[in-house]
Amino acid sequence: MKKTIVIGAGASGLLACISSLKQGRDVLLIEKNEKAGKKIYITGKGRCNVTNNKDISEFFDYIPRNKEFLYSSLYSFDNKMLINLLSQNGLKLKVERGNRVFPESDKASDVTKTLLKICKKYDNFSVIYNSPISDLIIENKEATGVILKNGRKYYADKVILSMGGKSYKATGSNGYGYKLLKKYSHSITKLSPGLVSLITKKDFSNLSGLTLKNVNVTLYENGKKICEKFGDLLFTHTGVSGPVILFLSLYIKENKSYSISIDFKPALDKNTLEQRLLNDFAKNSNKNVISAFDLLLPKNLARRLINESNIDISKKINQITKEERTILLNILKNFKLKIDSKGGFNEAIITMGGVDVKEINPKNMESKIIKRLHITGEMLDVYATTGGYNLQIAFSTGYAAGKE
């Protein structure tokens, strides 16, 4: 019987096992942790946004990096096939806002349990834990096996590397897969943290924990607008985060200067907002300026923004000049913040960059440099925004590698 070795019991490795087992192969899964799915466990805040229920053709709008490479694998094992596989094996799923799919139990661990249960249905499946691999066995540019850290060797007809990226290394993915492949002449594109918070030059720690719903944030690179996003923003002890910021972080490169502009009131155009300010001012003309701002924003943010405007917070509304009103209006519609840097790999949801996809066959994830070696999931230079797309990429590329 033909034998497959899969390295890494994460999302991608487990699907690689399942599709290999379906081909009637002998499968050995090797995982360095004491159990499978440590990263799956923390996905979706412990609930695992396992995929998205949109039509698969729409997925590509959410994949900013190398989407063409993923056409074959995403169409061959799409979100509906994943949903069927999980539901037919007893995992009830539900669809939430934005078509995001979660287990009905809200437990990410149920996803791993179900995938392992499927593997264990096959007699020709075996798994070893606490077994980090240290090297590959390559003969005449063909992968024939792996070597564990303890020196043990395992041989197979096909080796699938599903060792993950470089973020949240406590889950097992510490970037070792990239180092290993570099040694065997694979090109690794620049690695950087993605879907991560942004650190601002100014200190916003007094607003830490404050979430703003439905704001519009524009990202500027060297002063030029590059993209904008509408949604929720969170102030942190070092800067800004939340869905809008995680999305924008995908566009931040090294050695460029970035700033964001927050529109706190995107539903109102400048004229309408000015009218609203004038009305609020007229009703409260004997009060301090802060009382009019408190009507528009959470109190601590209102205070901070007035401070930023350099207008005396205790100034009476009837003393506010037209120029000062314009400053306040601009702060509400176009609040500029300089970005210092991105958060690090320890808090990044994904690794941007990875194995250059030009060196990989998109149909079965086989390396074009080393035959019989397949590379899947986050190790590859592909990534998507939040919404269940990254896990689907891991599942689909894993499935493609296990086939044939």
Ligand X SMILES: Cc1cc2nc3c(=O)[nH]c(=O)nc-3n(C[C@H](O)[C@H](O)[C@H](O)COP(=O)(O)OP(=O)(O)OC[C@H]3O[C@@H](n4cnc5c(N)ncnc54)[C@H](O)[C@@H]3O)c2cc1C
Q: How far is the CB of 353 from ligand X (least distance, A)?
A: 13
Plot region of 23 (φ>0 → left; ψ -120 to 50 → alpha; else → beta) = alpha
With tokens 């539903």, the residue in question is: 267
Q: How far is the CB of 382 from ligand X (least distance, A)?
A: 10
Which CB sits closer to ligand X, 212 or 246? 246
Q: DSSP state, 383? A: B
Which CB sits closer to ligand X, 277 or 350? 350
Q: How far is the CB of 401 from ligand X (least distance, A)?
A: 11
Which CB sits closer to ligand X, 7 or 70? 7
Which CB sits closer to ligand X, 163 or 252? 163
Residue of 178, 130, 212 lying closest to 378 (CA atoms): 178
Beta bridge partners of 230: 216
Distance, in Å, from the CA atom of 367 to the CA atom of 396, rounded to the nearest integer, reads 17
With tokens 């995982």, the residue in question is: 31
Which CB sits closer to ligand X, 112 or 200? 112
Report the SS3 class of residue 387: coil
Distance, in Å, from the CA atom of 58 to the CA atom of 55, rounded to the nearest integer, reads 6
Which CB sits closer to ligand X, 301 or 394? 394
3-class secondary structure per residue, 252-319: CCCCCCEEEEEECCCCCCHHHHHHHHHHHHHHCCCCEHHHHHHCCCCHHHHHHHHHHCCCCCCCEHHH
Q: How far is the CB of 202 from ligand X (least distance, A)?
A: 27
Q: How far is the CB of 392 from ligand X (least distance, A)?
A: 6
Which CB sits closer to ligand X, 75 or 129? 129
Q: How far is the CB of 239 from ligand X (least distance, A)?
A: 18
Q: How far is the CB of 276 from ligand X (least distance, A)?
A: 38
Q: Rule CB under 6 A: which residues touch ligand X?
A: 7-13, 30-33, 38-39, 42-44, 48-49, 132-133, 162-164, 167-168, 171-173, 176, 349-350, 377-378, 388-391, 394
Residue of 211, 208, 207, 259 lying closest to 233 (CA atoms): 211
